Structure 1
Amino acid sequence: MRKLERVSEVTQAFEAQTIDNTMFHHAEHVQVAYDLLRKYDFIDAAAFYAKGIRELATKAGSPQKFNLTITYAFMSLIAERLATKAHRDFKAFVSENPDLMSKNVLARWYADDRLHSENARSMFLLPEAV
């Protein structure tokens, strides 16, 4: 476990499973991933995050919206960016990594039909070889 002195309110609500899914958009997904990766090692952060996202989708009545490939690919990308350079806070991190605020950033590595396939929802798929 890493030491993180403070996490955002959205991450606190996510960890407590009290977050309102109607207020949990892409920016909040990135914020929570960022915080969890700073708080825990990658394995624990990714597992906790994936379970939380899946639970939110289920509670919202849309379990089919959960996609393990998207979840783990985004976590991996954010973790890599965090490992590459230190950032003083989330705002600075986003400022230096604005592409992460686009839901389409994974299109660099995944064809749309692969990323949104049934298999991608239930297991992590590697990008197709080029």
Structure 2
Amino acid sequence: MTLTEKYGEMTERFEARSLDARGFSHVDHIGVACQMLQRYEFLEAAFRFGSALRAIAAKAGAADKFNATVTLAFLSLLSERMAATPHESFDEFLEKNPDLTSRSLMETWYSPGRLGSDRARKSFLMPDKFSS
């Protein structure tokens, strides 16, 4: 199943901010983000995704869960992986990039304190962990 077939309608509801946050899984976040990265140039996709995600979180009473750093870092990683990973479907893309489904993936580059800070929630912070 293609990304559009799997996440096209969900992305429409996401952008319209009518998506119910309940049941919107981590993999759904990835699918919608990938769909938007295909539809728009990176900066527009980042703006649209971030704005919609923030609004949906606020509507669900969880405005404090939005994290600008996680959002932009994850979109950057997805964009890079989408370009570097030949794939015919969203499922194949995830099979080739299983680490993307880990909720702790960002801890590869960010300490928990930095990633969970108020500053990280409000604006993008550079990583504070570097591989040697």
TM-score (norm 1): 0.91
Q: Which amino acid aligns with 1:67?
A: N
Per-residue CA distance 1:50-109 (angstroms, 9 max, x = gap): 001100111011211110000011101100101112321211111111100111011110
The within-5 A match list for 1:75-94 is: 75-94=75-94
| Residue aligned with 1:23, SS | coil
What is the distance in 1 between the residues matched to 2:105 and 2:125?
Answer: 16
What is the distance in 1 between the residues matched to 2:57 and 2:29?
Answer: 13
Equivalence for 1:6: 4
What is the distance in 1 between the residues matched to 2:71 and 2:120?
Answer: 10
Alignment RMSD (CA, Å) = 1.5
Structure 2, unaligned stretches of length 5 or more? none
Equivalence for 1:23: 23
What is the distance in 2 between the residues matched to 1:87 and 1:129?
Answer: 30
Q: Is the 8 A contact 2:21 2:56 kept in 1?
A: yes
How big is the shift at 1:40? 0.7
Equivalence for 1:53: 53
Q: Which amino acid aligns with 1:121?
A: R
Q: Is the 8 A contact 2:50 2:68 kept in 1?
A: yes
Q: Is the 8 A contact 2:67 2:122 kept in 1?
A: yes
What is the distance in 2 between the residues matched to 1:111 and 1:32?
Answer: 26
What is the distance in 2 between the residues matched to 1:65 and 1:129?
Answer: 22
Equivalence for 2:109: 109
How big is the shift at 1:6? 3.5
How big is the shift at 1:129? 5.6
Q: Is the 8 A contact 2:85 2:93 kept in 1?
A: no
Q: Which amino acid aligns with 1:94?
A: L
TM-score (norm 2): 0.89
Structure 1, unaligned stretches of length 5 or more? none
Equivalence for 1:66: 66
Q: Which amino acid aligns with 1:122?
A: K
